[in-house]
């Protein structure tokens, strides 16, 4: 067992850290306030090879694994959960097409996403189907060489900037087995953006309603077999949960750093508050839970990279890391006292960012359902 980063992982972390310091930290608070998303940041990360880390080099990726991907995502999330999520969501169609796309789909859609020149989206949720994604209603009817899609998707991260959307729609009867997956291109007639959600945080990341009115998608853009779309979506989410967990690590790490710094600087009762046991114990719990979660995230990434079953462990990593981030950011606000509640420090933003991580890519109740089912079958611990 080796707990050190490899030379490649260290190099990636340094690359990401330098880019984030120069390009994201200076704009993040302003852009969160104004809801400004800058595609050039994704392009810049792409130039460094950070937008297609787990994709083969032949398809324009870095040819590395999730163990490298989580290192880069954590670094980006230290400054901005929104940009880290942007990279992670752009990764979803890439990973799905790499693992199950046709050669034509791979060569057409992956290289622009892997290089950061294009942005990707993943569109599963609808108004009436969130956790129960298998009940989605958007329809896709076969008509000669095309499917005709009708319906309204909700919550599609960065659909307004995306050129490639992996979208799930119903081709058959009710339930998960009636769902198929499609690649939709940005300017397809009939596809338009509806409302943009007004959210608690993560304002840089635009969360979009997508309206589909007689959208014609060529049959060759179906991903996997007809009826296999729910499995395609789940495969994306199993892998995606590792990335959301990595984002949570970055959010929590900055919160802890800010709290520890404050505890050294802020004096009360004649000494730094970090010398008070009540504050020290909070810092101790924060650091211990961050490191525990990081180990779970690394394990899930290692399992995936080694071709082993990883879905339950990805749920455990997502559950532990995002609950940890919620607790650590809340405690960081507490340690900063009144200042923690102001926008003079990043911790209130980090707390708002942590909250959404407990909801996206399967709420933490859904993660507990997945883990609980696996544990129910397990004989040895």
Ligand X SMILES: Cc1cc2nc3c(=O)[nH]c(=O)nc-3n(C[C@H](O)[C@H](O)[C@H](O)COP(=O)(O)OP(=O)(O)OC[C@H]3O[C@@H](n4cnc5c(N)ncnc54)[C@H](O)[C@@H]3O)c2cc1C
Q: Which residues are catalytic?
A: 361
- 204/335 with CB nearer ligand X: 204
Q: How far apart are the C-alpha atoms of 224 and 179, rounded to whole Å?
A: 11
Tell me the C-alpha to C-alpha distance, in Å, between residue 361 and each of 128, 157, 341: 16, 11, 28
Q: How far apart are the C-alpha atoms of 233 and 236, rounded to whole Å?
A: 5
Bridge partners for 277 per DSSP: none
Which is it for strands 179-185 and 164-170: parallel, antiparallel or unpaired?
A: antiparallel
Q: Among candidates 231, 228, 232, 224, which has minimal Cα distance to 102?
A: 224
Closest contact distance (angstroms) between CB of 365 and ligand X is 3
Closest contact distance (angstroms) between CB of 152 and ligand X is 12
Contacts of residue 103, defined as CB under 8 A and 6 or more positions apart, other chains included, come to none
Q: How far apart are the C-alpha atoms of 31 and 334, rounded to whole Å?
A: 25
Q: How far apart are the C-alpha atoms of 180 and 183, rounded to whole Å?
A: 10
DSSP single-letter state for residue 60: T
* Residue with the CB atom nearest ligand X in the bound state: 130
Closest contact distance (angstroms) between CB of 153 and ligand X is 7
Closest contact distance (angstroms) between CB of 140 and ligand X is 16
Determine phi and psi for 282, rounding to 5 degrees.
-65, -45
- 68/361 with CB nearer ligand X: 361
* H or E segment and range at residue 139: strand 139-143
Closest contact distance (angstroms) between CB of 24 and ligand X is 19
- 294/355 with CB nearer ligand X: 355
- 87/89 with CB nearer ligand X: 89
Binding site for ligand X (CB under 6 A): 89, 122-125, 130-131, 155-157, 199, 202, 207, 356, 359-360, 362-363, 365-366, 369
Q: How far apart are the C-alpha atoms of 80 and 76, rounded to whole Å?
A: 6
- 82/297 with CB nearer ligand X: 82
């Amino acid at each position: 067992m080796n707990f050190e980063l490899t030379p490649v992982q260290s190099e990636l972390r340094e690359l990401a850290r330098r880019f984030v310091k120069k390009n994201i930290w200076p704009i993040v608070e302003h852009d969160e306030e104004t809801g400004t998303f800058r595609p050039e940041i994704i392009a810049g990360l792409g130039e460094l090879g950070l937008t297609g880390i787990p994709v083969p080099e032949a398809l324009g990726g870095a040819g590395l694994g999730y163990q490298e991907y989580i290192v880069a995502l954590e670094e980006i999330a230290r400054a901005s959960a929104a940009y880290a999520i942007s990279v992670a969501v752009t990764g979803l169609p890439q990973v799905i097409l790499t693992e199950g796309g046709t050669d034509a789909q791979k060569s057409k859609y992956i290289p622009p996403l892997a290089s950061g020149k294009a942005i990707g989206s993943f569109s599963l949720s609808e108004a009436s189907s969130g956790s129960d994604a298998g009940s989605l209603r958007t329809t896709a009817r076969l008509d000669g060489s095309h499917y005709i899609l009708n319906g309204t998707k909700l919550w599609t991260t960065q659909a307004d900037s995306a050129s490639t959307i992996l979208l799930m729609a119903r081709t058959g009867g009710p339930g998960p087995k009636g769902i198929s997956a499609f690649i939709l291109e940005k300017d397809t007639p009939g596809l338009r953006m509806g409302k943009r959600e007004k959210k608690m945080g993560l304002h840089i990341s635009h969360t979009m309603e997508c309206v589909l009115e007689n959208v014609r998608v060529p049959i060759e853009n179906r991903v996997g077999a007809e009826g296999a779309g729910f499995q395609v979506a789940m495969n994306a989410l199993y892998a995606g949960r590792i990335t959301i967990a990595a984002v949570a690590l970055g959010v929590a790490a900055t919160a802890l750093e800010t709290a520890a710094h404050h505890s050294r600087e802020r004096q009360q009762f004649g000494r730094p508050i970090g010398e008070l046991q009540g504050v020290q114990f909070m810092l101790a719990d924060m650091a211990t839970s961050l490191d525990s979660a990081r180990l779970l995230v690394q394990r899930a990434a290692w399992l995936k990279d080694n071709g082993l079953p990883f879905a339950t462990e990805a749920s455990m990593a997502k559950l532990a890391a995002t609950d940890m981030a919620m607790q650590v950011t809340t405690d960081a606000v507490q340690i900063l006292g009144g200042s923690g509640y102001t926008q003079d420090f990043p911790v209130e933003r980090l707390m708002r960012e942590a909250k959404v991580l407990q909801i996206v890519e399967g709420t933490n109740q859904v993660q507990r359902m997945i883990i609980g089912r696996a544990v129910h079958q397990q004989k040895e611990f």
